[in-house]
Structure 1
């Protein structure tokens, strides 16, 4: 049975890629066939050495988690839509005199879906980031008709942001399989377990913890979070 998930979040720089890479790495360790893509990525300079430009990016993390090389072929398959400015896709594309082709985004995702036991599609920014003049990430999720894994941080204020995002997604009829709380950096934030308890209580969703791990390739040393994919129904 194939399973497909959209990895979204409550905002930008929250930890979507860490969650995507960790799930990809851990699924591979169970013997599952896994595909993961991040179709849209911004903040990528345009130069003749694409592989060098992509070092340290979200795309590189995803490829590493799947034990794939960082070369043009794999980069083009994982993140085919790349923009220079580190902005929302609608703004980044406009700066380059372009308009993101929403139908192309859907085609890329649908081509990737169902090729493996599990397909992970990582979004861009939060669930309500604009993609085009009239499309948001939430529309992208709805059109793919797959459940989401919602990534939240543990910073002060995350409880409100997470509850608001869950409510907004539910109003649109977007199923959320679970919430993964990716521990925020720094020391001045609330207790991770207490934050999870509050979010779980107010959303009635499975809440999985992903403590912050420093160093290279942290997804290789993360605790098991595969319960985030399990159907609680």
Structure 2
């Protein structure tokens, strides 16, 4: 089993849902979400790191949240903007160093914040973060109207940067205009990538089919 970076075509596509599902389906796997904006300390259990901790069978405590997600900002903005609102900036080298330490502990999923082109600093995007860690990507996409264009655009952006896509996870949207299988067939005409369908409210066992 390998380590992967979980990114997406945009925000609210289901990265944490898919990451948690993969964790429950693969107990030897672990996960971190180093950066989080839109964080509310009073809602730790329902937060992204809280959901990841629960999926790993760990107690959701403030210490555990800090270990999984060291960089937390309250404003629901891109990480660079959210940090700036608190008078801070993201130390990119520290972020990379933290991830490398965690990756050395065993197969790890690193969940990003937002989409693949989200700014982290004045010069670094999430795609730079992925490339500097030399990880393959699990790309999460919805199946809403417009998702085909968003998925193709994001996948080609990553591939042009030399970032390998292990699989595209098609997370069925509640307002999907066509079946997920139809979306998969449309994407397959343009993208040379493995695709994995995640049905709405998929159970942990449904994620076992994705080879990691």
TM over 0.5: yes
TM-superposed CA distance for 1:53, in Å, is 3.0
TM-score by length of 2: 0.95
Correspondence 1:26 to 2:8: no
Secondary structure of the 2:26 match is helix
Are the counterparts in 1 of residues 96 and 129 from structure 2 also a CA contact under 8 Å?
Answer: yes
Q: Which residue of 2 aligns with 1:57?
A: 47
TM-superposed CA distance for 1:93, in Å, is 0.5
Distance 1:226 1:134 in 2: 38
Q: Which of 75, 78, 87 is the matching residue for 2:68?
A: 78
Q: Which of 113, 119, 125 is the matching residue for 2:114?
A: 125
Unpaired segments ≥5 residues, structure 2: none
Distance 2:197 2:205 in 1: 9
Distance 1:34 1:223 in 2: 15
Q: Which residue of 2 aligns with 1:135?
A: 124
Correspondence 1:195 to 2:190: no
TM-superposed CA distance for 1:200, in Å, is 2.1
Are the counterparts in 1 of residues 25 and 205 from structure 2 also a CA contact under 8 Å?
Answer: no
Distance 1:34 1:123 in 2: 17
Correspondence 1:4 to 2:10: no
- Cα RMSD of the aligned pairs, angstroms, is 1.4
Which aligned pairs between 1:156-167 and structure 2 lie closer than 5 A?
Answer: 156-167=145-156
Distance 1:223 1:27 in 2: 9
Correspondence 1:180 to 2:175: no
* CA offsets 1:192-233 (integer angstroms, 9 cap, x no match): 1100111122102111011111xxxx6xx2442344344xxx
Secondary structure of the 1:54 match is helix
Correspondence 1:15 to 2:27: no
Distance 2:61 2:130 in 1: 28
The alignment of Structure 1 onto Structure 2 pairs a total of residues equal to: 212
Q: Which of 82, 87, 92 is the matching residue for 1:102?
A: 92
Unpaired segments ≥5 residues, structure 1: none
TM-score by length of 1: 0.87
Secondary structure of the 1:165 match is helix
Q: Which of 125, 136, 141 is the matching residue for 1:152?
A: 141
* CA offsets 1:173-205 (integer angstroms, 9 cap, x no match): 00100100011123x522111001111221021
